[in-house]
A = this chain, B = another copy of it.
Amino acid sequence: MEPRIRVQEEPFDAAAEMAALSEGRTDVGGLASFIGLCRADDGLAALVLEHYPGMTERAIGRIVAEAVERWPLTGCTVIHRVGRIRPGEGIVLVLAASAHRAAALESCGFLIDWLKTRAPFWKREEFADGDDRWVEARDTDDAAAARWDAPRP
């Protein structure tokens, strides 16, 4: 199983990525996906995503390797966009495929929770009125990521 990991400015094609993990195969019983999208809260005009080239790919690779170790996956895809993202556009795509649904669903949740807290991305919000501000990390994200710290029962 070769994970598909990409950091890119262009929008991603979720349908094509899902097909890549399932089409022509008969060993996939469950395909879970999560797409994080840019909302237009409070007059947001755009998100600008900065990252740490080199470390980003490494950090995502490590997170995916952890998922592959914990769950029997037949496929795994993580695509994270950087640069300017408009409301309604996708920011991140996570796919996890497995023979069994629990593995697909759990690993998909794990991947997005750890991506949010363990990969070097930073979001800046640009507003229609010209204001901008860096998004602050949230305790709820840390708590969500911490759920996966302990080995699974």
Contact = CB atoms under 8 A, between A and B. Distances in A.
Interface stretch (A25-33, A63-71, A119-127): A25-33
- Protomer copies: 2
Interface residues of A, number: 34
Given A14-B15, A15-B14, A105-B108, A31 B22 contact: no
Interface residue SS majority, chain A: mixed
A101 B32 contact: no
A35 B96 CA distance: 11
A149 B28 CA distance: 28
A146 interface: no
A88 interface: yes
Given A18-B14, A88-B26, A37 B31 contact: yes
A29 B31 CA distance: 20
A36 interface: yes
A17 B2 CA distance: 28
Contact of A22 (B32, B35, B105): B35
Interface of A: 14-15, 18, 22-40, 87-88, 99, 101-102, 104-105, 108-109, 112, 140, 144
Instruction: Rank and list the top 10 A-B pairs by shortest CB-CB distance, nearest first.
Output: A15-B15, A26-B40, A26-B87, A31-B35, A33-B33, A26-B88, A29-B39, A105-B109, A32-B34, A28-B37
